[in-house]
């Protein structure tokens, strides 16, 4: 069952809400139990055979967590994390690893295909974080019912956002949850926003991105224009799809008076890779920093302090490598393979690890450079944004490609290798000044099969305008907190685009819902089967 499916919108969600609202004012525990039943039904809709898997995983992790709260032993934590990694490793990586072993050895160790349980990466990483917090005495008060709802809550179960127990368990444990019309209004609005992003905008880009990547997998020669247009189209498809799905999850949860963390904050406005990861899949970035990078960097710092070596990465190359570079590369390596079992995901993670190391090194070792002050700020920002965006587009080629060969095929197109810079005569006529300049470039009177020309260019331009100029969900809802935790209320300035419960915005939401429902009639891609 998908959030944008008709059976979800018109049957599952209304029934779930109606019973929840009936129970919440009278029996809070019964309302929580109802949400758990709804969540298990939602998950079992895909494959009921995997219900014992998620229930067993929850029960065992709950026992580990209880034990860690009583006895914060490193051994118990290791056993708990090992259990989760073993579970994830078997279902997600066993086929890939056995294939690699079969290729590099003469033994036939290849395992038959295993159907990947949906969302296993999300609920596994969530539970690993819970065990670490339990050992460090950071878990909020909870029982079995709260924990089970924390893991299985259906809005975030399939594709996140990745919840922290400190954010969610207190919401489930409180006794004063009540139906509030404003929560329903906010939830419906955010859901409709995500709905439009997913089924209308993202699928528009998919129509242009998928044919190019499928052709690259089949061995077709991908030309320069096809590669760039297809790669940028997929970049926008992934953003609007994933951002839209996260918005739908946040909106659905808010209908139940539950706040999920924000997962995207205009990432394509970033002017560095560091800033990009602060804005893209923010809950994953939080997990990487808290549970991977920080412990590794702290361990390296302690090791260097014992031998009285410098701890300043900006003045010492050894400190930079051990405290910053190595933990970053390892963390992003884990993040890469977490996304999927395949060489392409490994390259994706290491590529972003290299990006981050270079970015950190640039900031640390050039912060006193005099030439930086001579560059006009608009030019510096434009250059930084362009470089960041191109790096992201390049990395997403590996994220989308079926295999390394297909990714390399697209990369060759991006750099125009082997005579792949092919322009049609029609484009040369539009820009006749370029006809002489590109005299060595192959020209054809046959349209490029995986480049839609003006249509695709206009769609990409529209996508750029949206990600540059349109307010983010949290900016749009500036008057109403979306995240579970927030600091001191900032001075709120009323702007024309700020949402408020009014007839106007209700009509906007209705129009958006209609657009989404009409778009949902067409088949759509589901991008999270590998998670």
Q: Is 117 left (phi over 0), alpha (psi -120 to 50) or beta?
A: beta
Closest to 456 measured CA to CA, from 198, 193, 211, 218: 211
> In b/e form, how buried is each residue of 426-454, taking b as 16+ CB within 10 angstroms?
ebbeeeeeeeeeeeebeeeeeebebbbee
Question: Taking the model in full, what pTM does it have?
Answer: 0.90
Counting residues of the chain whose pLDDT is more than 70, the rounded percentage is 88
**Cβ-Cβ contacts under 8 Å for 16 (sequence gap 6 or more):** 34, 35, 38
Please report the pLDDT score of residue 522 as a whole number. Answer: 73
pLDDT-derived band at 282, boundaries 50, 70, 90:
very high
Whether pLDDT at 430 is above 70: no
How far apart CA 407 and CA 402 sit, in angstroms, is 7
pLDDT in tens, 207-255: 999 999 999 999 888 888 889 999 999 999 999 999 999 999 999 999 9
How far apart CA 171 and CA 141 sit, in angstroms, is 10
How far apart CA 65 and CA 76 sit, in angstroms, is 9
pLDDT in tens, 462-485: 999 999 988 888 888 877 767 666
Please list the active-site residues: 339
Residue in this structure with the two tokens 């953003």, named with its chain if needed: 239
- The alpha-helical segments, DSSP class H, found in 431-498 are 433-437, 454-469, 473-476
Cross-strand bridge partners of residue 423: 443
- The alpha-helical segments, DSSP class H, found in 198-293 are 203-217, 224-255, 273-279, 282-288
Q: Minimum mean pLDDT among 40-49, 366-375, 380-389, 426-435: which range?
A: 426-435
Please report the pLDDT score of residue 500 as a whole number. Answer: 83
Whether pLDDT at 433 is above 60: no
Mean pLDDT value of segment 120-139: 91
pLDDT-derived band at 530, boundaries 50, 70, 90:
low
């Amino acid at each position: 069952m998908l959030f944008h499916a008709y059976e979800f919108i018109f049957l599952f969600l209304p029934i779930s809400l109606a019973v929840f609202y009936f129970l919440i004012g009278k029996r809070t525990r019964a309302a929580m139990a109802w949400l758990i039943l709804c969540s298990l039904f939602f998950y079992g809709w895909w494959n009921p055979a995997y219900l014992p898997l998620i229930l067993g995983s929850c029960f065992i992790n709950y026992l580990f967590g209880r034990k860690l709260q009583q006895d914060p032993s490193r051994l118990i934590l290791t056993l708990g994390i090992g259990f989760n990694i073993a579970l994830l490793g078997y279902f997600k990586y066993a086929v890939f690893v056995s294939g690699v072993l079969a290729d590099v050895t003469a033994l036939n160790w290849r395992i038959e295909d295993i159907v990947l349980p949906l969302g296993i990466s999300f609920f596994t990483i969530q539970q690993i974080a819970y065990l670490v917090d339990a050992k460090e005495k950071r878990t909020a008060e909870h029982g079995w019912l709260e924990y089970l709802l924390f893991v299985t809550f259906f809005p975030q179960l399939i594709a996140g956002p990745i919840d922290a127990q400190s954010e969610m368990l207190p919401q489930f444990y409180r006794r004063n949850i009540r139906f509030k019309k404003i929560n329903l209004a906010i939830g419906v609005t955010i859901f409709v926003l995500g709905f439009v992003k997913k089924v209308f905008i993202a699928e528009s880009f998919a129509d242009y991105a998928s044919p190019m990547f499928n052709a690259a997998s089949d061995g077709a020669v991908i030309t320069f224009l096809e590669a760039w247009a297809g790669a940028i189209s997929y970049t926008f498809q992934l953003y609007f799809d994933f951002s839209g799905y996260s918005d739908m999850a946040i909106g659905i949860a808010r209908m139940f008076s539950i706040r999920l963390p924000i997962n995207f904050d205009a990432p394509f406005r970033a002017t560095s890779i560091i800033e990009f990861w602060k804005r893209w899949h923010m809950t994953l970035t939080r997990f990487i920093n808290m549970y991977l990078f920080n412990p590794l960097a702290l361990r390296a710092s302690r090791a260097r302090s014992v031998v009285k070596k410098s701890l300043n990465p900006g003045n010492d190359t050894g400190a930079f490598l051990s405290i910053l570079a190595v933990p970053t590369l390892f963390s992003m390596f884990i993040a890469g393979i977490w996304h999927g079992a395949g060489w392409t995901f490994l390259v994706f993670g290491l590529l972003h690890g290299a990006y981050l190391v270079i970015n950190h090194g640039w900031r640390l070792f050039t912060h006193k450079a005099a030439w930086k002050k001579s560059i006009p700020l608009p030019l510096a920002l434009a250059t930084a944004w362009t470089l960041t965006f191109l790096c992201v587009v390049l990395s997403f080629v590996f994220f989308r490609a079926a295999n390394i060969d297909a990714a390399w095929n697209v990369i060759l197109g991006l750099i125009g290798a082997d005579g792949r810079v092919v322009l049609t005569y029609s484009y040369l006529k539009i820009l006749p000044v370029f006809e002489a300049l590109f005299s060595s470039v192959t020209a054809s009177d046959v349209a490029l099969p995986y480049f839609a020309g003006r249509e695709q260019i206009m769609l990409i331009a529209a996508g750029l305008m949206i990600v540059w100029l349109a307010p983010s969900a949290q900016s749009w809802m500036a008057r109403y907190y979306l995240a579970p935790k927030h600091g001191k209320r900032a001075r709120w300035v009323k702007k024309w685009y700020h949402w408020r419960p009014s007839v106007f915005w209700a009509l906007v939401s209705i129009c958006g819902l209609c657009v989404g429902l009409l778009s949902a009639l067409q088949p759509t891609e589901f991008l999270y089967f590998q998670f």
